[in-house]
Structure 1
Amino acid sequence: MFCIRPLTAALLLGALASAAGADTLLKLDARAAVPAPTTGYLKLGTATSPKGETLAANSQYLLKDGKPWLPVMGEYHFTRAPASQWADQLRLMKAAGLDVVATYVFWNHHEERPGAFNWRGNHDLRRFVQLAQAAGLKVVVRLGPWCHGEVRYGGIPDWVVDAMPTRGNDPEYMALVDRLYGQIGRQIQGLLWKDGGPVIGVQLENEYNLRGPGRGEEHISALKKLALKAGMDVPLYTVTGWDGAVYPSGEVMPVFGGYPDEPWATSTKELPPKETHAFRFNTRVSGDLGAQTKSHGAGTAETDKDKVPFFGAEYGPGLPAMYRRRTLVSPDDIAAMLPVQIGSGVNLLGYYMFHGGRNPVGAGGTGLEESSLSGGYNDTPRINYDFQAPLGPDGQQREVLTRLRPFHYFLRDHGAQLATMTVRQPERSPADPADLQTPRWAVRANGDSAFLFVNNHVRQYAMPAQIGVRFEVQLPGGAVTLPSKPVDIPNGAYFVWPVNLDLDGVKLRYAAAQPVARVDAGAQGIVHVFAATAGVEAEFALPDGLKTLKPDATQLQRLGTGANGRAVSVLLLAPEQLAQLNVLELAGQRRLVFSEQQAWVADGRLQLRGVGPQPLRAAVFPALTKPAAAGLKVSQDGVLQRLDVAGDPAQPALHITATRPAGMAPKVLKGGLAGAAVQPIPEAFATAATWSLQLPAQLPRAEDVLLELDFVGDIGRVFAGTTMLDDWYYNGQRWQIGLKQFGLKPGAELRLSVLPLRADAPVYIDAAHRPAFAAGQTQVAELRGARLLTVRRVAIAP
């Protein structure tokens, strides 16, 4: 199951350079005392639950039951997903290390016609919140009324936009917002924190930087009053703080974000290096986040820096598809942001989107997506909202999730300490994000304890290897220099190393390895999971000297005796082993579960979910007492208990027939608010190539069946009859559609249409995926492959 990554050419060259005697000492002074947090400035809601649990915030961090708390939050839109999926998907989010789920309430999804509210089925906010609570997640409800979220009119219904001014204190508009907030308040009544429920916060409006009479701080204040009137008394009230946002200081807390590219930009070329990959020491705003309105002055967030904690809500673990710019980010483009954001002081790590989805279709077939046809700044797919998210629209696990989880687990076990630490800037740091030569690192410290954050990855730009590097951190108790010998940090590396970390009574001076999680293994003592840094020898500096460890997920490596005479050991993981790690509460105990498939806990059982013919496999530590499931084989490999269920090589067949060749697609026009490429008009699809996709007469008895499409063209659409099921902008990513949700009959025929992509189309596609047009070739519309993949699941009793 596990292997160790071989040395790359870059690492080999770096090793040769180190052997030649290169030694660069990077210095940082972290001796200054941490300012004491202040309280009383923020006007928060009821902080105490019926059980006496408390949730509060000071000027630096959140406090849960009086202790610092650094949670992870992820966005999942309930109206963009089948209600039948919610329970499992929320548990998958919890298994990935999330503490909070955030969700927009899109007004036009619930009140398409005046006064006719829909809170049923896939629109049932109350059930979604209840399921989140059952999964162990807290909830933040993003109220709008303007949300954006790549939705038509930002979520405000057409009939409102047509009739009155919006996004201000117009009396007619505010009366309708009052009614909307009242409806939302009734949906979550009894589910607020003060009632013992999971709803800990609400967000007012979104990306709000409008000024003038009835706008600005005055409008946000009015919205908060309406939320309170509707009964939404919660510990946290937030607004987005980027792009010059304005709000009443002290009444709400700003949240921030950042993305590794800008699909809302108009450039058809690669963008300069983004701020999200560069540490920030003087600002919390991470560049342009695509606000639909322009700021005309400095935002409130900058003057609030010393009064409110640094919270994130929209760090992008993927990117949306927009017609003119179709960026496809790598897992490392995303994961490299995490040490940067945490190392820049973020004390709530929030993602948008953590789970992809699909837009509902409005009454009469109206599209509810953002588009230039309805005056939007961007063109987005009619239905698909994949977002390249860690969990796809049908719950698919994406590779990026395996890179993010270790940071979530790190925050779960070390976040309370980290939250109290402030950011310290090195003697030398990059002048700006375009400086690719100066080492990128930062430290968060409090007293003699610290964490060191390093990033040597920038999307689409090769970083020079930092050759022969050591770090010197000046602390009140003296300087710590790590590691003991110079190391080479290759292009693409990013990591977190601890300084003066207490491992249950064993004093760790430093580690040249990343802390991940802690497990109480009973008679085997306390086990701390660490991740080896690729190309760097894992070194642990202990009171009795240095220990150099080799990655091995099957063996505990003892560090010493800790508190109460218990053994303290390390389980050191190679990168490939780390990618399979899940930390789950199972059978009354925290356990490590290694699996290439999805793993989570439901109904007290370990759930494994895989796609295609491969076996379902996991390795568990500490071992389960009597694992049981049909076809399960159990074996032991060192400390790991291996669980195996045979694969199913018989995948359903898909019969594909070309039915219509492509015509000549019309020229892609420029226009709209962005003055850039706009999506072709509906009549253009008459030139699309089409294929018949015939499902087998006997569909397998599986949890789901994914239709996977590999096409090259401009826009793909899948129909059942004349009903569009899904659509996709070509960007090089495989397109998958879960078929179970549509209730298709065995033998049903689907139709794929692919609008040709013209060679002269002024759209951006990453160089690795842009079609190479042959001489004289003017367009392309090809289906390179299509197949059906079963989704299998096994529940293992412990």
Structure 2
Amino acid sequence: MNQPARRLFVHSVPAPPRGHLPFGESEGAPDRIEVTGRWFERGGRPWFPITGEIHYSRLPRDRWNDVLGHARAGGLDSIATYVFWAAHEPEPGRFDWTGNLDLRAFVELAAEHGLDVIVRLGPWAHGEYRNGGFPDWLVAQGLKTRTNDPDYLAQARNLYAETIGRLRGLTHAEGGPVIGAQIDNELYDQPEHLAALRDLAEELGLRVPIWTATGWGGAQVPETLLPVYSAYAEGFWEDETTEWAAFAPVHFCYSEVRDDLTVGADLREALDGVAASDAADLDGKLPYATCELGGGMHVAYHRRPLVSGEDVAALALAKIGSGSVWQGYYMYAGGTQRTGPQGTEQESQATGYPNDVPALSYDFHAPIGEHGQIRPHHHYLRRQHLWLQEDGHRLAAMTTSIGGGSDDPAELRWAVRADGRSGYLFATTYQPPKRPLAAQHGVQFTVEFEDETVTVPSVPVELASGISLAWPLRYPLTPDLKLRSATAQLLTRIGDDEGDIVVLASVESIPVEIILGDGTAVELPTAPGPECLVELPGVRLLVLDEASANRLYRLHVAGRDRLVLADAPVYADGGDLIVQSEAASATVALLPAPDGLDGAEVSANGRWRSWTVATGGGSVPLEVERRPEHGLVPEPRRGGPMNRLSAPDDYTNAAIVHLEIPSDAMEADKALLRLDWTGDTGRAFVGDRLVSDHFWHGRVWDIDLTPHRDALAEHGLRLELLPWSRATGAWVDPSVRDFEDGVTINAATMIRVGKTRLHGLVSLEAG
């Protein structure tokens, strides 16, 4: 049965308040960044930043370039990174900025990839680091940390002075990439201290246009810092009795409420004894900025969430529909916890935290994994980021009107973001599988602009369960031609020798309807896909299917921006195309096409020219016992300030599995052992060295063997796998609970990840 058309009236957007905030740069500054009461501006027009968290100190330095390249290819325009105090000052007065601790080199490399940088200065960071990243020697002094205690500020001054010295010449005002700094992290009740830390950083010479502090939990943020917010689909910090975190469902609705009073509440209460206060009313006073949209989720021993790529993408799109003007992800690339003089440096119950987390793995199931694995949500999010890169300057200046979206799962969730003349329609039937939403039947929307009413689609449609969409309304195709509506999502816009191409992506199960400004319906020449090109006066529309949209990149290759369709992860580096693949070969197609790609063979000619490249990737299955012997399950233990399950440290009864790694399996740019298994926890050793660990939570365990080639030849790999017992009570996702107690190895596979550099060839006449 068709439902009545949903209807909203959208107003013109008033000019935002200006000049009332202590951020931004003075008039006349090159590429001036300004912060208004509702959005950010850069170079004189609204700007929609897209930021991903990447921790340089948790990545091997020789992998920085790949990770930053993929981040840029994923549509980010900036990255954020913690400065972990304990890593840089392991002993009082002895600072270390070498190897993968070289902050300056990391920032400079980010700039080479076209990425700006927000430096999260600390002094306290959290990031699942022991003592929030405070050095052990500092903790031993018993200072009144995270306050304006003079002795603590003197120590913080030393850290800030060293850090800011490393950034000299790299700030935005100096022509560099550093556009912002975050002060401390998750500090709720010390606004005077936060303000003092900004004053200290400026006194030491740091000049950046944007100063932030985390604002969730009703944090008391001083006026000199911009509060930034979080949203997660799940949380490892919840109790093991919690089926779905109470804070999560709201993030799959459209809501202009920015704060979340429950994210990280356990840590706040356990460590600081501080309860959340009421959320502040910030609408119209400060722009809605995020810094921790969950790019995935970490695991703890007692609770091991399974956040999917679909969860991440739906949540991110819901925040755009809710009014976000800055998409910031935590994490965007996973990493490995550091090991210091006192051992591994993860948070744990032994160091006063409520939770035990893995000693090494900080994969976070991020879009880019701990070892550079490219996950599905890297592609899903890239679709959103391409759109924001293309039309973010218009979207940032649009306000949100909520059409529907209460906690009632039967109510359609929808919103319009508009400026009174044009906008975007958002709708979703997505919620994680543990609490899915039903399909919506007979769906149609009517949006009343000031001078026209738009109804989309012209005939009611069904929105299947699990869909999130953003449809353009009155989008300007050319100065003389508008797209009144489309049941397809805007991806990007690019030019070739024949003019502009506007790229749209269809939504699976919804017919594509394109209506021009005069009411003319556009007929597609073929089904949506790479060859579905519609010729219009002064512009062409390329309408992709969803599978092709998930393979689409926009990269600067061979002297110009090009659309790239790739069946393997790719990024651009110095005008070349870098292809990384777990398969032996990959295919890439470019539009407009260069004359050639040195290192690849042409496989198809047409509007898109395709090349096939040998990558050197592949897989080698290893023989392994399916049900290795083990002893009794360790007795469950509890600890920490919230008496949660503790990770076992006695592996006496573990199943011991020895694997000999074939030398040819290591002959690649990167070599991973992929273990498909079930159990409780696992550790991997090369000789006596712990190289990886894993709390089983429903996904494969990838172990990077690349750094250990020589030692593996001598020692092989030893796995210690503790058996699972449902009776222990650790929480895992309902979708993966139905398996046997004990240890089961379904497969052990060596994955060779190949990497190939393709140099784009362009004739002098064309170039």
What band does the TM-score fall into relative to the shorter chain? over 0.9
Aligned residue pair count: 747
Aligned counterpart, 1:278: 253
Q: Are 2:687 and 1:717 equivalent residues in the alignment?
A: no
**Pairing partner for 1:170 from 149, 152, 157:** 149
1:534 aligned counterpart, secondary structure: coil
| Cα gap change, 1:74 to 1:662, in 2 (>3 Å) | same
Runs of 5+ consecutive residues of structure 1 not aligned to the other structure: 1-20, 211-215, 563-567, 774-778
Q: Which moved more, 1:112-121 or 1:39-48?
A: 39-48
Aligned counterpart, 1:26: 6
The structural deviation recorded for 1:137 is 0.2
Preserved CA contact (<8 Å) 1:359 1:384: yes
Normalising by the residue count of structure 2, what TM-score does the alignment of the two structures yield? 0.94
CA–CA separation in structure 1 for the residues paired with 2:597 and 2:529: 20
Q: Which amino acid aligns with 1:783?
A: I
CA–CA separation in structure 2 for the residues paired with 1:691 and 1:275: 44
Aligned sequence identity (%):
34
CA–CA separation in structure 2 for the residues paired with 1:443 and 1:303: 21
The structural deviation recorded for 1:747 is 2.3
Output the aligned Cα RMSD. 2.0
User: Structure 2 matches for 1:245-644, cutoff 5 A?
Assistant: 245-249=219-223, 251-271=224-244, 274-281=249-256, 283-286=257-260, 288-291=262-265, 292-294=267-269, 295-296=274-275, 298=277, 302-364=280-342, 366-426=343-403, 429-432=404-407, 435-459=408-432, 460-505=434-479, 506-523=481-498, 525-542=499-516, 543=518, 545-549=520-524, 550-562=526-538, 568-613=539-584, 615-629=585-599, 632-636=600-604, 638-644=606-612
1:780 aligned counterpart, secondary structure: coil
Q: Which amino acid aligns with 1:666?
A: P
1:144 aligned counterpart, secondary structure: coil
1:88 aligned counterpart, secondary structure: helix
CA–CA separation in structure 2 for the residues paired with 1:47 and 1:784: 61
Q: Which amino acid aligns with 2:653?
A: T
Aligned counterpart, 1:61: 39
Preserved CA contact (<8 Å) 1:47 1:194: no
Q: Which amino acid aligns with 2:202?
A: L
**Pairing partner for 1:767 from 705, 729, 734:** 734
Q: Are 2:748 and 1:786 equivalent residues in the alignment?
A: yes
Q: Deviations over 1:34-64 (max 9, x none)?
A: 23111122112645897x2211111111111
The structural deviation recorded for 1:592 is 1.1
CA–CA separation in structure 2 for the residues paired with 1:404 and 1:762: 34
1:322 aligned counterpart, secondary structure: coil
CA–CA separation in structure 1 for the residues paired with 2:592 and 2:118: 34
Q: Deviations over 1:7-43 (max 9, x none)?
A: xxxxxxxxxxxxxx6243111121x332311112211
Q: Are 2:692 and 1:729 equivalent residues in the alignment?
A: no
Q: Which amino acid aligns with 2:704?
A: G
Preserved CA contact (<8 Å) 2:121 2:184: yes
The structural deviation recorded for 1:660 is 7.7
The structural deviation recorded for 1:676 is 2.2
Q: Are 2:613 and 1:645 equivalent residues in the alignment?
A: yes
| Cα gap change, 1:378 to 1:513, in 2 (>3 Å) | same
Preserved CA contact (<8 Å) 2:530 2:543: no
The structural deviation recorded for 1:761 is 1.4
**Pairing partner for 1:120 from 98, 103, 107:** 98
Preserved CA contact (<8 Å) 1:266 1:674: no
| Cα gap change, 1:217 to 1:514, in 2 (>3 Å) | same
Q: Which amino acid aligns with 2:694?
A: W
CA–CA separation in structure 2 for the residues paired with 1:269 and 1:139: 36
Preserved CA contact (<8 Å) 1:539 1:547: yes
2:472 aligned counterpart, secondary structure: strand
Preserved CA contact (<8 Å) 1:554 1:638: no
The structural deviation recorded for 1:643 is 0.8
| Cα gap change, 1:704 to 1:499, in 2 (>3 Å) | same
The structural deviation recorded for 1:513 is 0.7
Aligned counterpart, 2:765: none
CA–CA separation in structure 2 for the residues paired with 1:240 and 1:396: 29
Q: Which amino acid aligns with 2:285?
A: K
CA–CA separation in structure 2 for the residues paired with 1:557 and 1:146: 53
The structural deviation recorded for 1:623 is 1.1
The structural deviation recorded for 1:253 is 0.4
1:218 aligned counterpart, secondary structure: helix
| Cα gap change, 1:634 to 1:660, in 2 (>3 Å) | closer
Preserved CA contact (<8 Å) 2:120 2:181: yes
User: Structure 2 matches for 1:743-758, cutoff 5 A?
Assistant: 743-745=709-711, 747-748=713-714, 749-758=716-725
| Cα gap change, 1:653 to 1:472, in 2 (>3 Å) | closer
Q: Deviations over 1:277-313 (max 9, x none)?
A: 01113x11145221421444636x6243322101110
Aligned counterpart, 1:77: 55
2:736 aligned counterpart, secondary structure: coil
CA–CA separation in structure 1 for the residues paired with 2:589 and 2:656: 45
Stretches of 4+ aligned residues off by more than 6 angstroms: 657-660
CA–CA separation in structure 1 for the residues paired with 2:684 and 2:26: 48
| Cα gap change, 1:155 to 1:176, in 2 (>3 Å) | same
The structural deviation recorded for 1:642 is 0.9
Preserved CA contact (<8 Å) 2:301 2:647: yes
CA–CA separation in structure 2 for the residues paired with 1:395 and 1:48: 41
Normalising by the residue count of structure 1, what TM-score does the alignment of the two structures yield? 0.90
The structural deviation recorded for 1:654 is 4.4
Q: Deviations over 1:402-434 (max 9, x none)?
A: 1111000000001000000011122xx2333xx
Q: Deviations over 1:242-293 (max 9, x none)?
A: 01211212x0101111011121100334215621101113x11145221421
1:319 aligned counterpart, secondary structure: coil
Q: Which amino acid aligns with 1:510?
A: S
Aligned counterpart, 2:208: 234
CA–CA separation in structure 2 for the residues paired with 1:82 and 1:725: 13
Preserved CA contact (<8 Å) 1:49 1:193: no
1:97 aligned counterpart, secondary structure: coil
